[in-house]
């Protein structure tokens, strides 16, 4: 295919499933992660087994110097950047009265600044190509109030807003920007929810199951096809009906 997708947080969970799905469709993958070398190498092996190229890049997306260095390397290694999946994110739930500054800063830095840093670096290249697609991974928490998630939901609300503005700014350059807002998805992130609370959450999902990382990957891959060539600035909620 000769197309390249950059996937942030591609070593585990939703990012890994998206990387594998896009690899199975023929995309070469530039896979970013933060710290877990073992998981990144394992993901790289699984991806290359699909017959495409996969390079891994350790960089904290909230750190602009690391992001610039990473994209410099990506541009050296791959001819084009056709897709950016802004996915690397963290959740650190706490009720308003218990929020720690350190946790607040980390969430704002990774979940908002990180998305802007990577979109800026990728769209520089996409603008010169006059084509590209950016998918921002948001969350149902951006449209559904969950006690304990005011920081997380604020960051994901920001992702929805920046999706719209980026879409408007970048449309003249042939770049589409959309977001997917998953509900509860069975990744390491969701495994941190205590058992009784997880059951309560499951009960609230009309489709009576948590989503899978593959559900999200399938949705993201569909958005990259010609079927959605005229859509930009939209947030697709993929939550089994949770937010209804
Ligand atoms: P996950 O299983 O915890 O995986 C997180 C991934 O992001 C890992 O690859 C991790 O790399 C990477 N990462 C974390 N901080 C990073 C940073 N500063 N720079 C670069 N990479 C970083 O998470 P997930 O559940 O797949 O979630 C992925 C995205 O989906 C997030 O944006 C999350 O908010 C969103 N989401 C998840 C759910 C859900 O139910 N799971 C629902 C809605 C939305 P290392 O392992 O190296 O740290």
What does the pLDDT profile of the chain (244 residues) look like in tens digits? 799 999 999 999 999 999 999 999 999 999 999 999 999 999 999 999 999 999 999 999 999 999 999 999 999 999 999 999 999 999 999 999 999 999 999 999 999 999 999 999 999 999 999 999 999 999 999 999 989 999 999 999 999 999 999 999 999 999 999 999 999 998 877 777 777 878 888 999 999 999 999 999 999 999 999 999 999 999 999 999 999 9
pTM to 2 decimals? 0.98
Q: Would you state the structure tokens that stand for residue 11, as one six-digit string?
A: 């070593």
Dist. CA 9 → ligand 1 center (Å) = 6
Measured from CB, residues less than 6 Å from any atom of ligand 1 are 8-9, 11-15, 32-36, 39, 60-62, 87-91, 110, 114, 137, 139, 182, 184-185, 187-190
The string of DSSP codes covering 28-52 is EEEEEESS-HHHHHHHHHHHHTTTS
Dist. CA 242 → ligand 1 center (Å) = 21
Please, what is the angle between helix 150-170 and helix 101-108, to 10°?
A: 20
Dist. CA 31 → ligand 1 center (Å) = 13
Give dist(CA 156, CA 149) in Å, integer. Answer: 10
> Cα 241 to chain center, whole Å?
21
| Domain extents in the chain | 4-185+212-238
Q: Let me know if 152 is a catalytic residue.
A: yes
CA nearest 82: which of 40, 130, 50? 130
Give dist(CA 216, CA 46) in Å, integer. Answer: 18
Let me know if domain 4-185+212-238 sits in CATH 3.10.20.600: no
């Amino acid at each position: 295919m000769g197309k390249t997708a950059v996937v942030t947080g591609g070593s585990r969970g939703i990012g890994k499933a998206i990387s594998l799905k896009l690899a199975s469709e023929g995309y070469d993958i530039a896979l970013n992660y933060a710290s877990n070398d073992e998981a990144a190498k394992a993901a790289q092996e699984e991806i290359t087994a699909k017959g495409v190229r996969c390079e891994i890049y350790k960089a904290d997306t909230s750190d602009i110097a690391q992001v610039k260095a990473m994209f410099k390397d990506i541009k050296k290694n791959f001819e084009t950047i056709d897709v950016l999946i802004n996915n690397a994110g963290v959740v650190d739930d706490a009720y308003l009265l218990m929020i720690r500054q350190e946790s607040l800063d980390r969430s704002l830095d990774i979940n908002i600044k990180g998305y802007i840093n990577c979109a800026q670096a990728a769209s520089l290249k996409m603008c010169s190509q006059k084509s590209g697609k950016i998918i921002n991974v948001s969350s149902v928490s951006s449209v559904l109030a969950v006690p304990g998630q005011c920081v997380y939901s604020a960051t994901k609300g920001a992702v929805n807003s920046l999706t719209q503005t980026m879409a408007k700014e970048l449309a003249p350059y042939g770049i589409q920007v959309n977001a997917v807002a998953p509900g509860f998805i069975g990744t390491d992130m969701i495994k941190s929810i205590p058992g009784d609370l997880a059951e309560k959450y499951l009960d609230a999902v009309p489709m009576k199951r948590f989503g899978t990382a593959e559900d999200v990957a399938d949705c993201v891959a569909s958005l990259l096809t010609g079927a959605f060539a005229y859509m930009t600035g939209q947030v697709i909620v993929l939550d089994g009906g949770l937010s209804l």
